[in-house]
Amino acid sequence: MSKDINLVGLDIKKILQYQRNRYPFLFLDRIISIVPGEKATGIKCFTYNEMFIPGHFDDEPNVPGFLQLECLVQTFLMTFQSLDEFKGLKVNDAAFNNVKFKRKIIPGDVLLVEAELHSIKEGVATGSARSTVDAEVACSADFVVDIPEILNRFKPNAMVAICEDQI
């Protein structure tokens, strides 16, 4: 059973220890709670000073949808990358499903993201995340990601190599 860890201090420096996203593609400001192997809650504070806001759009600045999704998936990654065996490993997006945008995100909004791990097996993790702003749903999606270092151990060529080494 996982133990609920109070990681109020999981700021950007500590997040960098767990996942490989870096500036300008790291879109988490803080993880406010986490149960490793189960769930994570993170926040992202959007400001007009973000490089993408002024150009999207001049007359009505807002956060592009794909960046909202990136906030969700990065919080989702923390659900399992907070476990020692997955800490700092490279992760690839495999699928985003059931994506729904419900609210425009504008400068000054604080995105609260709640993510849940559904399963992780043989280097493939599935889960979901939902974001809110002021308790109003903003975006939600289901995810499939893979961890190449682990997944490659289960590919047929890897199995042949393992068998040949044992002969």
Q: Can you give the pLDDT at residue 165?
A: 59
Q: Which residue in 127, 121, 45 sits closest to 79, CA to CA? A: 127
Q: What is the mean pLDDT of the chain?
A: 89
Confidence band for 1, pLDDT divided at 50, 70 and 90:
very low
User: CATH fold of 12-166, please?
Assistant: Thiol Ester Dehydrase; Chain A (3.10.129)
In this structure, the dihedral spanned by the alpha carbons of residues 41, 46, 51 and 55, taken in order and rounded to 10 degrees, is 120
* 163: pLDDT strictly greater than 60: no
Q: For residue range 60-94, list pLDDT tens digits in order.
A: 899 999 999 999 999 999 999 999 999 999 999 99
What are the phi and psi torsion angles at 73 (to 5°)?
-70, -35
Q: Can you give the pLDDT at residue 7?
A: 47
Amino acid at 63: V
Q: How many CB atoms within 10 Å of residue 131?
A: 28
Quote the Cα angle for 92-96-98, to 5°.
165
* 113: pLDDT strictly greater than 60: yes
The question of whether 118 is a catalytic residue gets the answer no
Burial class (CB in 10 A: 0-12, 13-18, 19+), 142: middle
Q: For residue range 5-59, list pLDDT tens digits in order.
A: 544 458 999 999 999 999 889 999 999 999 999 999 999 999 998 888 878 888 8
Residue count (the chain): 167
Q: Which of 56, 87, 90, 153 is catalytic?
A: 56
Q: For residue range 148-162, list pLDDT tens digits in order.
A: 999 988 878 755 555
Please state the domain extents for the chain: 12-166
Q: Can you give the pLDDT at residue 118?
A: 98
Confidence band for 167, pLDDT divided at 50, 70 and 90:
low
